[in-house]
């Protein structure tokens, strides 16, 4: 299910592909995308893309690809949902042994020509790494063939979807993993600078061994800064079975009367009938009261890493790198996310749910998503 090592999880890698389904992706047209032998594959239909539901800005993307002889494919980054031009609407990293304009595998179409010096459409698996960091894009094939493109235009594409292309011939992709970059820390590990307790909080909140310890409740600890569209990663650990907590986001400023008017990423590791696909209280990674986690990945008494991406009405979560929620808020707009869709910036807020609460949190890091 999860091909990430514990070291990769701790470093913040996430799986964009769960090895079983197309969860978290949507297709542009009638290309016959499917999952076969833990790989995303396509071989018929018009030229088209399979796109992530959520955008990313700065990241390291790694995947493996396989092409039959004569195949033409590509990986698109910072891509519009319906790109019309590979120059204006995305960066297309081409995968092709032949191209009429010389954009062979590893090239950035319309920007940077590259010849890896080997044939890649040979029905064998090859590794592709794309490091997108600001105006620089570094492409590595099979760890040895390297191309670098530095964007010099003023209108640099800063953020967008990731797309897999079916152009001609059969293509397959697997082990699609992404590590967000340019993440800023929200917690010093020494004190609660940048955070404040919400008035009326009954939780005991302090810093112990570079971790935030939240005991009892109800109570809330919220960031002073606000965020709208972002990638957030943090780690959490419950200290007893089936404890209930959460992280609120895009939250209104907490008051004693209304301490937590925001969207909530649920933290609860319980599940029914020994089946992790049946959470008994929404499940860790759920957007509470909106959509359950499709699987309870994390376990009580163990650290888990939670990734949250919020972009406009689209929200997705990963737990230990496994995608558990991909959701669009289609409600009418409202300042209070409990009542409707909120796109405006709001606070992040840790929850002390009730008197049984006993959790640790650490390694909060965030990156704003550019428009």
In tens, the pLDDT along 41-99 reads 999 999 999 999 999 999 999 999 999 999 999 999 999 999 999 999 999 999 999 99
For the full predicted model, state whether its pTM sits above 0.95.
Answer: yes
In tens, the pLDDT along 278-305 reads 999 999 999 999 999 999 999 999 999 9
Task: Tell whether 122 and 213 lie within a shared domain.
Answer: no
Task: Tell whether 176 and 192 lie within a shared domain.
Answer: no
Task: Tell whether 321 and 345 lie within a shared domain.
Answer: yes
Domain end (from 126, 153, 180): 180
Domain end (from 154, 180, 206): 180
Interatomic CA distance for residues 353 and 357, integer angstroms = 6
Instruction: Give the distance from CA 154 to its chain's centroid.
Output: 27
Task: Tell whether 232 and 211 lie within a shared domain.
Answer: yes
pLDDT band at residue 3 under the 50/70/90 scheme? confident
Task: Tell whether 333 and 353 lie within a shared domain.
Answer: yes
**CB distance 306 to 318 below 8 Å:** yes
Domain end (from 145, 180, 215): 180
pLDDT-above-90 percentage for the chain: 98
Task: Tell whether 155 and 195 lie within a shared domain.
Answer: no
Q: Is the pLDDT of residue 1 over 70?
A: no
Nearest to 265 by CA among 232, 303, 240, 313: 232
**Residue 249, domain member (yes or no):** yes
**CB distance 278 to 286 below 8 Å:** no
CATH number at residue 263: 2.60.120.560
Interatomic CA distance for residues 292 and 310, integer angstroms = 16
Interatomic CA distance for residues 37 and 343, integer angstroms = 39
Structural domain tally of the chain? 2
How large is the average pLDDT for residues 180-186? 98
**Residue 1, domain member (yes or no):** no
Task: Tell whether 83 and 209 lie within a shared domain.
Answer: no
Residue 94 domain boundaries: 6-180
Q: Is the pLDDT of residue 347 over 80?
A: yes
Task: Tell whether 147 and 266 lie within a shared domain.
Answer: no
**Residue 52, domain member (yes or no):** yes
**Residue 24, domain member (yes or no):** yes
Burial of residue 192, with CB atoms counted within 10 A of its CB: 0-12 exposed, 13-18 middle, 19 or more buried: middle
């Amino acid at each position: 299910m999860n091909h990430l090592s514990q070291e990769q999880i701790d470093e913040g890698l996430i799986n964009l592909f769960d090895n079983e389904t197309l969860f978290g992706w949507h297709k542009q047209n009638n290309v016959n995308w499917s999952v076969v032998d833990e790989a995303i594959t396509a071989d018929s239909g018009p030229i088209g893309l399979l796109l992530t539901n959520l955008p990313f800005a700065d990241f390291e993307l790694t995947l493996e690809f396989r092409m039959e002889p004569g195949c033409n494919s590509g990986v698109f980054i910072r891509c519009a949902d319906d790109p019309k031009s590979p120059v204006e609407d995305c960066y297309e990293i081409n995968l092709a042994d032949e191209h009429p304009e010389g954009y062979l595998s590893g090239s950035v179409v319309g920007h940077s020509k590259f010849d890896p010096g080997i044939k890649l459409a040979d029905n064998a698996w090859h590794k592709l790494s794309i490091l997108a960091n600001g105006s620089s894009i570094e492409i590595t094939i099979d760890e040895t063939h390297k191309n670098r493109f530095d964007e010099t235009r003023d209108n640099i594409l800063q953020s967008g979807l990731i797309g897999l292309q079916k152009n001609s011939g059969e293509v397959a992709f697997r082990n699609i993993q992404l590590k967000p970059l340019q993440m800023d820390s929200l917690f010093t590990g020494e004190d609660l600078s940048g955070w404040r307790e919400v008035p009326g909080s009954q939780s005991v909140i302090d810093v112990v061994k570079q971790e935030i310890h939240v005991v009892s409740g109800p109570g809330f600890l919220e960031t002073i800064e606000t965020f709208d569209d972002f990638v957030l990663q943090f780690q959490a650990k419950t200290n007893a079975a089936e404890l209930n907590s959460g992280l609120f986001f895009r939250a209104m400023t907490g008051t004693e009367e209304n301490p937590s008017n925001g969207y909530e990423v649920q933290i609860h590791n319980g599940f029914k009938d020994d089946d992790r696909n049946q959470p008994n209280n929404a499940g860790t990674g759920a957007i509470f009261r909106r959509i359950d986690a499709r699987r309870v990945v994390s376990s009580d008494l163990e650290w888990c890493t939670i990734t949250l991406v919020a972009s406009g009405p689209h929200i997705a979560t990963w737990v230990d790198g496994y995608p558990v929620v991909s959701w669009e808020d289609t409600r009418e707009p409202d300042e209070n996310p409990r009542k409707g869709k909120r796109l405006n910036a709001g606070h992040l807020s840790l929850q002390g749910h009730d008197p049984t609460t006993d959790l640790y949190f650490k390694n909060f890091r965030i990156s704003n998503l550019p428009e």
